[in-house]
Amino acid sequence: EAQVTQNPRYLITVTGKKLTVTCSQNMNHEYMSWYRQDPGLGLRQIYYSMNVEVTDKGDVPEGYKVSRKEKRNFPLILESPSPNQTSLYFCASNDEKLFFGSGTQLSVL
């Protein structure tokens, strides 16, 4: 089954404690991306990657890092999380059509 898998589903952390949200896809897609979704603001792209070792900023990249060492994995890294990064995060991969993961609800206290 074609899937985008992200973990964890829920995460509560404290300000400044580094965290990583993992994302993996089994569709052999070259293109992967991260979004955050906030009430009233909709989906906003954080970072995207067009292939292994090729990443670029989306609309709201501040405070986030990504890496793409393998085609199937695209982790999102928050080096020093802050409360304004509390949000619902989605990983996605696509060829012609975009497929989303199930989401990670992050709370930064």
CB 55 within 8 A of CB 36: no
For the CA atoms of 39, 40, 42, 48, what is the dihedral angle to 10 degrees? Answer: -80
Rounded to a whole number of angstroms, the minimum distance from the CB of residue 76 to another protein is: 15
107 scored as a contact of another protein (CB under 8 A): no
Residues from 44 through 103 that contact another protein (CB under 8 A): 45, 48, 50, 88, 90, 92, 94-103
1 scored as a contact of another protein (CB under 8 A): no
Tokens of 28: 């052999």
Tokens of 102: 């199930």
- The contact set with another protein (CB under 8 A) reads 4, 29-31, 40-43, 45, 48, 50, 88, 90, 92, 94-103, 105
